């Protein structure tokens, strides 16, 4: 019997890496006249999108938290003011 092992890794350059290599090739051959910040943009745009999504999730979570506090605050007993405490004597 022969033992066959298959080890597959899902690594690799990926779509953003391929796009970056393509843009660098086009820039170096003078097909495009873009700034280098846009040539390497596939490497950092995904990070900007991720940060934006995380900020939006945090904002929504904060809104839900504040809404819950506001909703339950209506049912909290009111604290007596100092002027009312003096009248109890």
State the first-to-last Cα distance of the chain, in angstroms, to the nearest integer.
Answer: 97
Whole-number Å distance between alpha carbons of 25 and 19: 10
Task: Kindly state the DSSP code that residue 2 receives in the 8-state scheme.
Answer: -
Task: Kindly state the DSSP code that residue 12 receives in the 8-state scheme.
Answer: S
**Could you list the pLDDT tens digit for every one of the 89 residues in the chain?**
556 665 556 677 888 899 999 999 999 999 999 999 999 999 899 889 999 999 999 999 998 888 877 666 666 666 655 555 555 55
Q: What is the pTM of this model?
A: 0.52
Asked if 36 and 45 count as a contact pair (C-beta separation under 8 A), the reply is no
CB neighbours (10 Å) of residue 23? 20
């Amino acid at each position: 019997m022969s033992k066959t092992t298959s080890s597959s890794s899902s690594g690799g350059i990926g779509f953003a890496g391929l796009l970056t290599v393509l843009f660098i090739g086009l820039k170096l051959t003078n097909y495009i006249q873009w700034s280098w910040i846009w040539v390497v943009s596939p490497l950092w745009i995904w990070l900007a999108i991720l940060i934006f999504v995380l900020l939006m999730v945090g904002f929504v979570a904060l809104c839900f938290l504040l809404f819950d506090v506001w909703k339950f605050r209506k049912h909290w007993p009111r604290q007596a003011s100092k002027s009312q405490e003096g009248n109890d004597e």
